[in-house]
A and B are shown apart, each in its own frame.
Chain A
């Protein structure tokens, strides 16, 4: 069924902000990593060509953008802060630094994190993004910066691998809510079980 369409009058500022948000959101959604390129020609080119500098300025100010350039062909090359990339986690970090936190502690922390929403957010902050939830949880832990960095990436990896992101992504954000938090807990506990099984298997192999 064709979606209902609307005509809206906008000021110059509103129009530029609208297109800037479209570029950032489309960019974030189209990348599995943390960077992407869009072209101004795909976003009301005739208008935006004259506002290249203003668009660049707005993009620089966006909290999701780590770096951005616009070249002569009007390609907008954006690098996003990785917290805002719903499908990205640092694979190398999880592989190379897994000794920072013991395997047993990783599984314990994931289990603790799975119930953090129900304990701390359900009544105080019922609609929370997975990004905020991870950051709140990590901040509540008495750990050094290195461990916090590793665990933050580790938790994000498990949320992505559990399939929760794919199922509940809304635009560029993934929310934990009173409607889906039990599922959130369940899929993370399943991830936890898998880690424990892997640990047990590796221990057995070491003994042999």
Chain B
């Protein structure tokens, strides 16, 4: 499955990842509707 993400680099502290589609609950449920579901900082 191709989950589209947008990554914004944030210097040395890690990066922010923004999902552009809804993450499906299980295989075969890939009809995402939401545009942005989640964003978080990874360090």
Contacts and interface: CB of A to CB of B under 8 A. Distances in A.
Contacts of A37: 42
Contacts of A35: 17, 38
Given A33-B40, A92-B34, A81 B3 contact: no
Interface string A23-40: 000000000011101000
Contacts of B9: none
B40 A67 contact: no
The winner among A66, A82, A83, A84 for most chain B CB atoms within 10 A is A66
How extensive is the interface on chain A, given as a class? 10 to 19
Contact of A152 (B25, B27, B38): B25
* Interface secondary structure of B, over-half rule: loop
Contacts of B24: 66, 81-82
Interface in A19-78: 33-35, 37, 63, 66-67
Interface residues of B, number: 15
Contacts, number: 37
Contact of A67 (B1, B25, B29, B34): B1
B6 interface: no
A79 interface: yes
Contacts of A82: 23-26
- Top 8 nearest A-B pairs (CB, nearest first) are A67-B3, A83-B25, A83-B26, A81-B26, A82-B25, A34-B23, A66-B1, A82-B23
Interface of A: 33-35, 37, 63, 66-67, 79-84, 90, 92, 149, 152
6 contacts: A34-B23, A34-B38, A63-B26, A66-B1, A81-B26, A83-B26
Interface of B: 1-3, 17, 23-27, 29, 34, 37-38, 40, 42
